[in-house]
Amino acid sequence: MSTALSGGEDYPEIRDAVRAICRDYPSAYWRGLEDTGAYATAFVSELTKAGYLSALIPEEFGGAGMALRAGGVILEEIHASGCEAETCHAQMYMMKMLVRHGTAAQKARYLPGIATGELRFQSFGVTEPTSGSDTASLKTTAVRDGNAYVVNGQKVWISRALHSDLMTLLVRTSPVEAGGKRTDGLSVLLVDIRDALGKGLTIRPIDTMVNHQVNELFFENMRVPVANLIGQEGKGLRHIFDGMNSERILISHESLGDARFFLGKATAYARDRVVFGKPIGQNQGIQFPIAKAYAEWRAADQFVRMAAAKFDAGEPCGEEANIAKLLTAEAAWNAGEACMQTHGGFAIAREFDIERKWRHARIQRIAPISTNLILAFIGHGVLGLPKSY
């Protein structure tokens, strides 16, 4: 990778160490997993053992207690190296919610195990088939019965549920009262998947265009101890939203890594590939889209740093987190497009490893939040335009 694309100057030791791990997981590893639909167990355990997945867990619970930016740098380097942080990123982005809203007993019970890797905290259950982006109208219910909640309903697109021991689950614990807020009455439960599987919880994998390990979840009288309620009953959506700025900023780093990956491949190939007796990169039709994508990546990179700095300083950063997510997803997609076009027919050869990353980069414009919903937030939340929903 050229110096211009080597990533920022901050956390150089972390960047080097993550890159060193990733070198042992080349593109053939990821293609092999796609062929069988297998989970990246070896990769995730190595990152866990090296302590990278506990970067955001406070030191008192066995983690590194690092800044959000450090977590982001880890994810960025994974992606810039061609690896897939989607295999394990949820543990980082859910951590802020558990640390902020979990009880002392919950933190003492779960965080040390998550820090050592004994417990996998990789699943986050919000989306439902009938409500989609309209989270407040989700239909999965949890009704109190003695010292447990009884959960009934369905979720969709829930990543890594078969490779996680714990899941945060957003459920409706009370109906919206007449004249009340739609966002009230939702609560977050911490589900121990090991206890629940086969006892009210059914998980069915969904076959998709990427090896993202997404699933449909069905709940039929699944019991969750009341002690596993995270935060306040009825205020769950607020707790989830609290964690969303960190999620947006962390995942933005993945797109920055994707952009670097594509730009590195595109520039190398544009220099080397000779057609009509000259390197194709000499043609402005090839050179300019790469140059433009580079400029977009640089601008998005600066924006992400600013968003992360605000988050780490404890300042409000909803606007910055959302804009960072938008800009990085677009920058990665445009870099992917330039890379694809530069490679001509070879772009679709699996061996070149561009099409795999291209498929992944496309998803960043849909999940965890779609581009339209970010624009809607900017439109009504920042600019005060009328709301579409």
Residues at the interface with ligand FAD (CB under 6 A): 124-127, 132-133, 157-159, 212, 214, 363, 366-370, 372-373, 376, 388-389
Nearer to ligand FAD, 190 or 214 (CB): 214
In the bound state with ligand FAD, the residue whose beta carbon lies nearer, of 274 and 366, is: 366
Rounded to a whole number of angstroms, the minimum distance from the CB of residue 90 to ligand FAD is: 7
Coil, strand, or helix at residue 1? Answer: coil
In the chain, % helix, strand, coil (3-state, to 5) comes to 55, 15, 30
The beta strand positions in the chain, using DSSP E, are: 121-125, 141-145, 148-159, 166-172, 186-192, 201-205, 214-225, 229-230, 274-275, 278-279
Which distant-in-sequence residues (6+ apart) come within 8 Å of 313 by Cβ?
none
> C-beta of 193: minimal distance to ligand FAD in Å?
13
Q: Minimum distance from CB of 271 to ligand FAD (Å)?
A: 34
What is the C-alpha to C-alpha distance for residues 367 and 369, in angstroms, rounded to an integer?
A: 4
Nearer to ligand FAD, 81 or 213 (CB): 213
| Minimum CB distance to ligand FAD, residue 269 (Å) | 28
Nearer Cβ to ligand FAD (67/214): 214
**Rounded Cα–Cα distance for residues 218 and 221 (Å):** 10
Q: Which is nearer to ligand FAD, 212 or 357 (CB)?
A: 212
- Local structure of residue 126 (DSSP, 8 states): -
225 bridge partner residues: 148
First to last CA, the chain: 45
CB of 295 to ligand FAD, least distance (A): 26
d(CA 304, CA 295): 14
Residue 201 phi/psi, 5-degree rounding, is -115, 125
User: CB-wise, 216 or 312, nearer to ligand FAD?
Assistant: 216
Shortest gap between Cβ of 96 and ligand FAD (angstroms)? 16
Q: Which residue is nearest to ligand FAD (CB)?
A: 132
